[in-house]
Amino acid sequence: MDWARSAVREIMNQEQHFRRAEKLLGCFLPPEAVESLAGDLEEDMRRVFLPKYAPRIAVLWYWTHIFGILLQIIGRTLAACLHPSAWRNALNGVSADLRIAARSLRQNPGFTSIVLVTLALGIGAGASIFSVVNAVVLRPLPFRDPNRLTYVFEASTPTPDAGNVLAVRPANYFDWKQQNHVFESMTAYSSRRVALTAGSAAEIVWSHQVVADFFETLGVYAAVGRTFIAEEYENESSRSAILSDGLWRRRFGGDPHVVGQEIVLDNTAYKVVGVMPPGFYPTAYSTPEVWMPLPLGGRLKHSRVDWLLTPIARLKSGVSLPQARADLDLIAHGLAGQYPATNRNFTAAIMPLPEFVLGRHNRLFVLLLASVGILLLITSVNVANLLLARSAERARELAIRGALGASRSRLVRQMLTESALLAMLSASIGVLLAYVSVNPIRALLPEASRIPRTADIQVNSHVCLFALVLSVAMSIVFGVAPALRSARIGVDATLREAGRGATLGMRARRLADALVAAEVALSLTLLAGAGMIVRSLVNLERVDPGFRTDRLLTLQLRVPSGRYPNERAVVALLDTVERRLKELPGVRSVALTAQIPFQQIYNPWSFIKRGQTKDAAPSQSAHIQRVSPDYFDTLGIPLVQGRSLRPDDVDIALPVAVINQTMAQRYWPGENPIGTTITVDLTKEKRAVTIVGVAGDAKLKGVAAPAFPEIFWPLAQSPSPDCYVILRTAMADPLRIGPAVRAELSLIDRNMPVLAMRSMDQALTESLWQPRLSTSLLSLFGLLALAMAAAGLYGVLSRAVTQRTQELGLHLAMGAGAAQILRLVLGQGLRLTLTGIALGLGLCVAFSRLLANQVFGVTTLDPLTMVAVCALLTIVATSACLLPALRAIRIDPMEVLRNQ
Amino acid sequence: MVLLAIARLGDNAYGVSIRDEIKACTGRSVSRGAIYVTLDRLENRGFIKTWLADPTPERGGKAKRLCRVQAAGKRALIDARTVLEQMWTGLDPQFGKS
């Protein structure tokens, strides 16, 4: 009996092989061809091989021939596709499919509109975010081989954070340039704002003063005229200038004869020698519009105290970043040994230029891309569900077409064409939506964001191509399942069910349920992220900045250097400005400062107390604020100890300063710092100051920034040609006094440009640009996702009620109450919702990683937010399920029984 | 060769028998893939007609795809033979036949 059992087992195994082979052939051939081919092979195997060889050998022979046949079919298909007549036939087929698809969509305007709107919103959102990422990050920088370019800074470690780097001193720059083995060229620039006067109008622009080899190192040359020649770098009296493309078009109307014309920069005449190409170039902090040569001769060349230069270097071919870092670190160590007074504790920090310029906001862009990706997934899932339902409604039509000779592949192609047509139409609408959203998005990225190239955000050919690719991908994602399902529709069963309306098979129903649960899960993720960001923004807006931001007007002044050649002249001018503005009606007090609140770049300076040595106190540092005496009164910063600065402090032999509470508590815990003298190491000099007061902490860097030790000393002791004026006004809208302020400043000196006039409240709002941007976009995406999830749930429940009409009617006929029916229907909806929520909680854990560093005052999985979002989803889902549930309880049981 | 084999086999021409007939007459083995591709081409040109016959147990209950030569196929065979005979005329001495 063993042989019989073994024989039966072998036969059963062979049957499995035959079935598998038929399934495989069925993917490539029509059913009749599969049957005859498989039958021929089986006949040969039984007749020729099984009598002579072991069954396993026969099975091996069988599969060898199956694969051989498949290869021949594929080869023949490829050859046919490459034939010109094949292309003609394909085109004819495609145009026929498109005509049928268009007619079908026209005949169902309700369905078509819902799908178009859903897809257009998703594609529009995707295209909008892509337009930002494309303009800011993806476009290559306008240099030759930008990945070989690096910034070189001074820092305390070779790999510091981007915020802890320092400019480079000229002597160090020349030593690194001479001694390194890793750079094929090295250059540098120094940036500052200049007052540009060309014609009658004056404006403040960023300028870069550049040293020799600047344009050659970057590998970019002038589009009009030329770049600087060697003599211009060496000659200190050189007065050549190069303009940016934007400035040339804005101030000179793109005049091709601009070379040789004169412009005035800070009251000094320069001759234009060239214009750079468009887009040249963004940097981490400013976009220059004018370039001048920086002759580094005389004292400056040997200076190790002027923190002046930002070097850019091009790596030699084959040299890696770690090798370059090691080489410069070695040189820096040598210099520290040679010049301990100036170079001890400093080394060289090399940062890839593209990463430094473009990579600082990567986390934000990744968050936005992930969010819009989730929205696109939800959109695809929603549309897939709609198409699945539609395929059920069209089952009869498709069955008849199949009976009339349409092949399975033809039906699949037809359904996919319809999906593709929907996707293309939606892509067009989506691109329009993206176009409309460009300006609002740009408004969410103010200059304070320091995101480069925001002016270039637009809907261009790249964005349109992205929308097209996205629509094709989405049409595959949401179109495949319904298309394959339509191909499997059996004629007999479908036509027999003609009287029962549209139904989905069990598998398709489960797929629809799974899709809706997935929608709910993804919506929860987006809503939770939006909730965290919203709470974060609310927390930020509630932070007390430590001073009163209302009724404050701010503006920036640029002291024309040619007319005020020394510090005394600048101080006298600033005194006049302060005095005359204070006399204006509606102005309560005026303050001057070198850095405006909410836009400050912090540079900590080390200090020691009297009696301490530097070695004993290596980690004492503070940020320096240069302010006028009325600064604390004007801003409303309280004095908690001692006194404020006074106008006559400038005349005292020993300079004085006020410190903030954080500095007092950190470095004088439990002690009184008033009367203490500290010496601040400014590298160029060491300044001893006596502490006369302690002010309350103010969030001058930004409301999200932690408190930092700060020293306030008189602006008059080291005046800056760029300074800010802050006016405490009597008006609720301080901008109303703006014209009077401009007029008064013009009377003082009509060549003194005034810019960036705005209220302190506006400055505070702009400083919160990042959470505002995240909040706006994530909230919008979250609400869209919620609406789609609700629509998806409604659709599934509605179909379920239709399919269960008989069952529910029987329940009602047997005495079930409305409450019981409601429980049945709502129960199904809630089960789907809760399944989705459970899945979504898992997704939230992954998504929360993207929220790290984007939230303030709340954890990335804040329980309160999660509970609120789950509750919101459940309420909305229940509301979406109510309509189908109410329809269910209105079923007429008598009608159902009659139709049985 | 495939068309000739179908003509020789009459009403019993299908994939397996066509292959066996060609092997028996010419001694050559032809791949199954080549035969099926050729059958498709012959049918597309109208030289043969195919239909599915009843399934048999030795084929696991699967039907055969039987073929029959049509009038166009017969004409094509006759034309091909005529052309061959015309091309062979006068070549016998070259190939050692008188």
Q: Does B15 contact A36 at a Cβ distance shorter than 8 Å?
A: yes
Q: Does B59 contact A39 at a Cβ distance shorter than 8 Å?
A: yes
Question: Is the CB of residue A346 less than 8 Å from the CB of residue A154?
Answer: yes
Q: Does A36 contact B55 at a Cβ distance shorter than 8 Å?
A: no
User: Cβ atoms within 10 A of the Cβ of A435, count?
Assistant: 17
- Burial profile A492-523: b = 16 or more Cβ within 10 angstroms, e = fewer: eebeeeeeeebebeeebbebbbebbbbbbbbb
Which of B35, B36, B37, B56 is most worth mutating to test chain A (most A CB atoms within 10 A of its CB)? B36
Question: Is the CB of residue A697 less than 8 Å from the CB of residue A661?
Answer: yes
Burial (CB < 10 A; 0-12, 13-18, 19+), residue B53, is middle
CA-closest candidate to residue A424, choices A377, A484, A479, A369: A479
* Token duo for residue B68: 């029959």
DSSP letter at A696 equals P
Residue-level pLDDT at A501:
47
Enumerate residues 6+ apart whose C-beta is below 8 A from A690: A654, A655, A656, A657, A675, A676, A677
Which among B33, B58, B63 has the least Cβ separation from residue A36? B63
What do you get for the CA distance between the two ends of chain B, in Å?
28
| Residue B3 backbone phi and psi in degrees, to 5 | -65, -40
DSSP letter at A895 equals H
Residues of A in contact with B65 (CB under 8 A): 32-33, 36
Burial (CB < 10 A; 0-12, 13-18, 19+), residue A381, is buried
Distances (CA, A) of A757 to A361, A734, A742: 27, 10, 9
Q: Does A36 contact B60 at a Cβ distance shorter than 8 Å?
A: no
Which residue in chain B is spatially nearest to A32 when comparing CA positions?
B52
CA-closest candidate to residue A244, choices A293, A199, A206, A301: A206
- For residue B88, give how far its alpha carbon lies from the nearest alpha carbon of chain A (Å): 34
Question: Is the CB of residue A502 less than 8 Å from the CB of residue A482?
Answer: no
- For residue B44, give how far its alpha carbon lies from the nearest alpha carbon of chain A (Å): 14
CA-closest candidate to residue A365, choices A452, A278, A431, A460: A452
Q: Does A39 contact B62 at a Cβ distance shorter than 8 Å?
A: yes
Q: Does B62 contact A32 at a Cβ distance shorter than 8 Å?
A: no
Q: Across the A/B interface, how many CB contacts are shorter than 8 Å?
A: 59
Which among B31, B36, B59 has the least Cβ separation from residue A42? B59
Q: Does A40 contact B63 at a Cβ distance shorter than 8 Å?
A: no
Burial (CB < 10 A; 0-12, 13-18, 19+), residue A602, is middle
Q: Does A68 contact B31 at a Cβ distance shorter than 8 Å?
A: yes
Residues of A in contact with B64 (CB under 8 A): 36, 39-40
What is the C-alpha separation between A608 and A346, in angstroms, rounded? 18
Q: Does B33 contact A38 at a Cβ distance shorter than 8 Å?
A: no
Arithmetic mean of pLDDT, B30-42: 85
What is the C-alpha separation between A646 and A808, in angstroms, rounded? 86
Q: Does A43 contact B16 at a Cβ distance shorter than 8 Å?
A: yes
Residues of A in contact with B53 (CB under 8 A): none
Residues of B in contact with A32 (CB under 8 A): 52, 65
CA-closest candidate to residue A393, choices A108, A789, A119: A108
Residues of A in contact with B41 (CB under 8 A): none
Q: Does B31 contact A40 at a Cβ distance shorter than 8 Å?
A: no
* pTM across the whole model: 0.72
Q: Does B31 contact A73 at a Cβ distance shorter than 8 Å?
A: no
Residues of A in contact with B36 (CB under 8 A): 33, 37, 69
Q: Does B62 contact A73 at a Cβ distance shorter than 8 Å?
A: no
Q: Does B32 contact A47 at a Cβ distance shorter than 8 Å?
A: no
Q: Does B62 contact A35 at a Cβ distance shorter than 8 Å?
A: yes
Which residue in chain B is spatially nearest to A69 when comparing CA positions?
B33
3-state SS record for A119-177 = HHHHHHHHHHHHHHHHHHHHCCCCCCCHHHEEEEEEECCCCCCHHHCECECHHHHHHHH
What is the C-alpha separation between A535 and B9, in angstroms, rounded? 85
Number of helices (H), then strands (E), in chain A: 29, 21
Residue-level pLDDT at A499:
44
Q: Does B32 contact A42 at a Cβ distance shorter than 8 Å?
A: no
3-class DSSP assignment, residue A498: helix
3-class DSSP assignment, residue A221: coil
Residue type, A356: F
| Long-range residue pairs from A785-788, CB within 8 A, at least 24 positions apart, any chain | A785/A374, A785/A375, A785/A378, A785/A519, A785/A522, A785/A523, A785/A526, A785/A527, A786/A523, A786/A527, A786/A872, A786/A873, A786/A876, A788/A118, A788/A378, A788/A379, A788/A382, A788/A519, A788/A523
pLDDT band at B60 (very low <50, low <70, confident <90, very high): confident
Q: Does A32 contact B52 at a Cβ distance shorter than 8 Å?
A: yes
How confident is chain A (900 residues) per 10-residue block, as mean pLDDT?
57 74 81 84 83 81 84 72 70 81 85 88 92 88 90 80 76 94 95 78 84 92 92 88 93 91 88 91 78 86 84 94 93 91 84 84 86 90 83 73 71 84 90 91 80 85 90 83 66 49 67 86 91 90 91 89 80 93 95 88 82 72 92 95 88 83 94 93 81 94 87 87 91 92 90 84 89 88 88 80 80 83 86 92 89 82 90 89 84 75
Which among A36, A47, A72 has the least Cβ separation from residue B65? A36
- Burial profile A869-890: b = 16 or more Cβ within 10 angstroms, e = fewer: bbebbeebbbebbbebbebbbe
Alpha helices in A195-244 (DSSP H): 214-218, 230-234
Q: Does A18 contact B60 at a Cβ distance shorter than 8 Å?
A: yes
3-class DSSP assignment, residue A293: strand
Q: Does B60 contact A47 at a Cβ distance shorter than 8 Å?
A: no
- For residue B85, give how far its alpha carbon lies from the nearest alpha carbon of chain A (Å): 33
Q: Does A69 contact B14 at a Cβ distance shorter than 8 Å?
A: no
- For residue A871, give how far its alpha carbon lies from the nearest alpha carbon of chain B (Å): 59
Q: At what angle do helices A567-582 and A738-748 cross, to 10 degrees?
A: 140
- For residue A45, give how far its alpha carbon lies from the nearest alpha carbon of chain B (Å): 9
Which among A46, A68, A73 has the least Cβ separation from residue B58? A46
Burial (CB < 10 A; 0-12, 13-18, 19+), residue A857, is middle
What is the C-alpha separation between A725 and A579, in angstroms, rounded? 12
Residues of B in contact with A63 (CB under 8 A): none
Alpha helices in chain B (DSSP H): 2-9, 15-26, 32-44, 71-88
Residues of B in contact with A28 (CB under 8 A): none
- For residue B82, give how far its alpha carbon lies from the nearest alpha carbon of chain A (Å): 31
Which among B52, B56, B58 has the least Cβ separation from residue A36? B52
Which among B31, B34, B58 has the least Cβ separation from residue A43? B58
Strand-pair partners of A686: A681
What is the C-alpha separation between A481 and A388, in angstroms, rounded? 8
* Residues of chain A by 3-state class (helix, strand, coil), percent to 5: 60, 15, 25
3-class DSSP assignment, residue A362: helix
Residues of B in contact with A44 (CB under 8 A): 16
* Token duo for residue A788: 């789609």
- For residue A402, give how far its alpha carbon lies from the nearest alpha carbon of chain B (Å): 19
Residues of B in contact with A46 (CB under 8 A): 58
Distances (CA, A) of A198 to A453, A563, A722, A805, B64: 25, 18, 20, 81, 92
Which among A33, A43, A76 has the least Cβ separation from residue B59? A43
Task: Determine if residue B86 is left, alpha or beta; phi over 0 gives left, psi from -120 to 50 gives alpha, anything else beta.
Answer: alpha
Question: Is the CB of residue A291 less than 8 Å from the CB of residue A241?
Answer: yes
Q: Does A39 contact B60 at a Cβ distance shorter than 8 Å?
A: yes
What is the average pLDDT score of chain B?
Answer: 87
CA-closest candidate to residue A411, choices A113, A70, A93: A93
- For residue A29, give how far its alpha carbon lies from the nearest alpha carbon of chain B (Å): 12
- Collect all residues from B whose CB is shorter than 8 A from any CB in A: 14-16, 31-34, 36-37, 52, 55-56, 58-60, 62-65
Which residue's structure tokens are 């601040």? A680
* Token duo for residue A252: 């000179």
Task: Determine if residue A187 is left, alpha or beta; phi over 0 gives left, psi from -120 to 50 gives alpha, anything else beta.
Answer: beta
Residue type, A483: A
What is the C-alpha separation between A509 and A491, in angstroms, rounded? 20
DSSP letter at A190 equals E
Task: Determine if residue A318 is left, alpha or beta; phi over 0 gives left, psi from -120 to 50 gives alpha, anything else beta.
Answer: left
Q: Does A43 contact B63 at a Cβ distance shorter than 8 Å?
A: no
What is the C-alpha separation between A221 and A143, in angstroms, rounded? 10
Q: Does B32 contact A65 at a Cβ distance shorter than 8 Å?
A: yes
Q: Does B36 contact A65 at a Cβ distance shorter than 8 Å?
A: no
CA-closest candidate to residue A347, choices A321, A329, A363: A329
- For residue B13, give how far its alpha carbon lies from the nearest alpha carbon of chain A (Å): 12
